[in-house]
Amino acid sequence: MIRHIKKELPQTAISILSNGVKFADKEFAMKLAKCRHQDLQIDIPLFSDIAEEHNRIVGAKTFYKTVQGLYNLALFRQRIGLRIVVHKQTYKRLPQFADFIYHNFPFVAQVAFMQMETTGLAEENFENLWIDPYDYNNELREAVLLLADRGMKPYIYNAQLCVLPEDIRCYAQQSISDWKDIYIEECDGCVLKGQCAGFFESNRQAHSSHIKKIEHISSDISC
């Protein structure tokens, strides 16, 4: 399929979301690399720096296969993005997780810290997973700045600018697809609305209690 897309749409960027397990097979990783697509990124979620925690959250013993998949993709010089979904069971160790990533996966192109979308299994396990994003700001800030200060490229996905500490707002991306992106009444009149990710439609009733419009900013959002 990658070869077909490359042939028919050579200028089209491709993002593959994968759990990384299949890439633990070096031959499989090599097949992808042999496609030689000029603008392809493989985005892989990792849920903890502790194998047992990752496996418990995923519901399968995949940690070491995912890690091996990351190394195989790096071996074949593929562009990799790490995705860290932040929720009640993962937020406390974000700084340690960031340090783990720096020491073990310095080759990744980016690290995205993602606010949780409350749909599917996340909706079914809402009480066990949901935490107000405002309540993990300290851990998120420490993790993001740790990676940035060490020359890596951290991003924050799906987050509302008014909830984030000012000094990490510049890492936030407008990451929610248009078809499921909304803004709520509290956003009306906010000077940063045009730069903000907004909310998932599924999070209309499950969002931070600290949402408020920003009427003035002291400087541009830049890192």
Q: Model pTM?
A: 0.93
The total of structural domains in the chain comes to: 1
Predicted confidence (pLDDT) at residue 221 exceeds the cutoff of 80: no
Q: What is the pLDDT of residues 100-135, one digit of tens each?
A: 999 999 999 999 999 998 888 888 888 899 999 999
Whether residue 100 lies inside any domain: the answer is yes
| Separation CA 107–CA 14 (nearest Å) | 19
Whether residue 208 lies inside any domain: the answer is no
Whether residue 34 lies inside any domain: the answer is yes
| Mean pLDDT lowest among 40-54, 147-161, 175-189 | 175-189
Amino acid at 146: L
Whether residue 160 lies inside any domain: the answer is yes
Task: Give the burial string for 28-51 (b: 16+ CB within 10 Å, else e).
Answer: ebeebbeeebeebbbbbbbbbbee
* CATH number, domain containing residue 118: 3.80.30.10
pLDDT greater at residue 68 or residue 9:
68
Whether residue 92 lies inside any domain: the answer is yes
Q: What is the pLDDT of residues 56-65, one digit of tens each?
A: 999 999 999 9
Whether residue 215 lies inside any domain: the answer is no
Whether residue 117 lies inside any domain: the answer is yes
For residue 17, the enclosing domain spans 2-203
